Amino acid sequence: MHIAILAPLLVVPSILAYMQQPIPATRSTTLVDALSADPNYTSLLRLLQRARLIPTLNRLTNGTLFAPTNDAIKNHPLWLDFLGDNPFSLTDNIQEQLRQQLFYHLLNFTVSALPTDEKPVAYKTLHYPRAPETPPPRIPPPSPPWMPVPGGTLGGEPQKLRASSRDDKPWVGVDAFGKHGALITNRTEATNGIVFGVSKILDPPPDLGMSSLIAVPICAQSLKAL
């Protein structure tokens, strides 16, 4: 009889002890969180803020960001200029050129596995080439998030980015033969995508429309010289 009375009393302390244990905390690490946690991406975060693309990254549900490190940006004159207090950049409220270059580093899907051989694999980026406004307007842009608008000079298709493996290392931004490009240095997974650190800026291919406009006066001068 004593055992029957004491048994429930022995169960109560164990239940109370279980109820007093702290509830495990869950942390959501987004693409922006992953960049913020790594000191190698402070310059990239500043550029994303200047181009008003932080809300865009947060809006993605599955994305891939090829993230240039601070050293990569430091060694690229154009991006370093965007990072500084250049008067032209400060008066450009749209930041179209910077935004388009950043879109070339961004995919609207998650790359789960990188290539393992030299044969290049092409990914569709969020960069839709278009002629920039000249001079840049002073009117403030619409509210973010900025999302790329299909269209531009490639018949509505986005610019593609190639990746391959060389010397047992992954590279991105390679040419059709799997050469050149930027070395992928590390990988960070987030709840809404993945971040790949890259050793160099990925320069978009030159705009063929702009190139033809430059080539016309050069050809005219050559004919005149003849």
Q: State the average pLDDT over residues 140-161.
A: 69
> Chain-wide mean pLDDT for the chain?
77
How high is the pLDDT of residue 156? 72
CA distance 38 to 209: 39
Q: What average pLDDT score do residues 143-161 get?
A: 72
**Worst-scoring range by mean pLDDT, 18-27, 95-104, 161-170?**
18-27
Q: Where are the alpha helices (DSSP H) in the chain?
A: 2-19, 31-36, 42-50, 54-59, 70-74, 77-83, 87-91, 96-103, 208-225
* pLDDT digits 0-9 by tens, 128-147: 887 665 555 555 555 555 67
Q: Can you give the length of the chain in residues?
A: 226
Of 75-79, 116-120, 127-131, 222-226, least confident by mean pLDDT is 222-226
Does residue 4 belong to any structural domain of this protein? no
Dihedral of alpha carbons 133, 129, 41, 171, sign? negative
**pLDDT beyond 50 at 96:** yes
In a domain, 1, yes or no: no
Query: Is 225 a member of any domain?
Result: no
DSSP-derived secondary structure letter, 81: H
d(CA 104, CA 173): 10
pLDDT of residue 141: 53
Note whether residue 42 is domain-resident.
yes
16 located within any domain: no
Lowest mean pLDDT across 3-12, 39-48, 92-101, 155-164: 3-12
Q: What is the number of domains present in the chain? A: 1
Say if 226 falls within a structural domain: no
Residue at 220 is within a domain: no
Residue 211: what pLDDT?
Answer: 41
Is position 116 within any domain? yes
Cα–Cα distances (Å) from 210 to 29, 192, 193, 205, 214, in that order, read 40, 36, 34, 11, 6
Domain enclosing residue 81, as ranges: 24-215
CATH code of 152's domain: 2.30.180.10
